[in-house]
Amino acid sequence: MRGKIFICTLCCLFFAIMACGTAMAQNKHQLRAGAYKGPMMPMAVPEAPDAAPFFSNLSQVPDSCTNCNYFSTDGFLVLGPSNCFALGATQWLAYPFVASHTGNVRRIQLAVTQFGMCGGGTQFTVSIYDDACPSGEVPNTLLASKAVNAPTAPCLLATANFGATGPVLTQGKRYWVAVTTASPTQDTFTGVWWFANSGPEDVNFNDGSGWLLFGGAGAFSVL
């Protein structure tokens, strides 16, 4: 009888260690949202741009299943440190783009929505950085930022309006759009930056310890 109890105890201990190890391993990877399961919101009619976009990977033809102009089946989580998904975990994102022309940025539209699976804050910060040449792998100097409220669900877009005083971009140069959380007002933000329908792009993650390059495909437009 003691032998059976000892074996059972060992088995339970083994599975507990495996489960703990799995959780630790998952914490080393970027946190992803998975497919959105809640009610979808109708995609807003796009505003007529003042000029051709500096960059856009938002699809011109909405997805036939979701009617979104981005991929609401997967995306990376955007988390402040007091988020409701993984308390204490911070995850910020930054995607690069090359400016198609020279001019002032008036607004940035992003496929960022609230997570929807728990509570949490709704406001986050959208920023634009120049590139850390010659490496081209991390955001460098902050050019402008805006506090933005995330919409409730796909297919809606979050918008950062800079007006006529937005930063000047130079044709052919590389820049970064970043989503972060400002402490303490945005610490509880829990959202998702949904992927573009197109192929993957580079993304930088920042868990509070600096930017780390990774593969991704967040959907956004710089206008």
- Average pLDDT, rounded, for the chain: 82
Q: What is the mean pLDDT of residues 149-154?
A: 96
pLDDT number for residue 208 = 86
Residues 6 or more apart whose CB falls under 8 angstroms from that of 139 comprise: 94, 127, 129, 130, 131, 132, 176, 178, 204, 211
Longest alpha-carbon distance in the chain: 80
Instruction: Give the pLDDT band (50/70/90) at residue 170.
Output: very high
pLDDT tens per residue across span 99-123: 999 999 999 999 999 998 898 999 9
pLDDT number for residue 119 = 86
Flag whether pLDDT at 80 surpasses 80.
yes
Residues 6 or more apart whose CB falls under 8 angstroms from that of 28 comprise: none
Residues comprising the chain, all counted: 223
Q: What is the 3-state secondary structure (H, E, C) of the chain?
A: CHHHHHHHHHHHHHHHHHHHHHHHHHHCCCCECCCCCCCCCCCCCCCCCCCCCCEECCCCCCCCCCCCCCEEEEEEEEECCCCCCCCCCCEEEEEEEECCCCEECCEEEECEEECCCCCCECEEEEEEEEECCCCCCCEEEEEEEEEEECCCCCCCCEEEECHHHCCEECCCCEEEEEEECCCCCCCCEEEEEEECCCCCEEEEEECCCCEEEEEECECEEEC
Region of poorest pLDDT, from 11-25, 92-106, 159-173, 184-198: 11-25
Residue 138: burial class (beta carbons within 10 Å; 0-12, 13-18, 19+): middle
Cα 91 to Cα 72: distance, rounded to the nearest angstrom: 19
Q: What pTM was computed for the model? A: 0.77
3-state secondary structure of 16: helix
pLDDT tens per residue across span 36-61: 667 776 666 556 555 699 999 999 88
Is the preceding omega at residue 134 within 30 degrees of 0, hence cis?
A: yes
pLDDT number for residue 78 = 97
Q: What is the mean pLDDT of residues 189-199?
A: 89
pLDDT number for residue 43 = 67
pLDDT number for residue 200 = 59
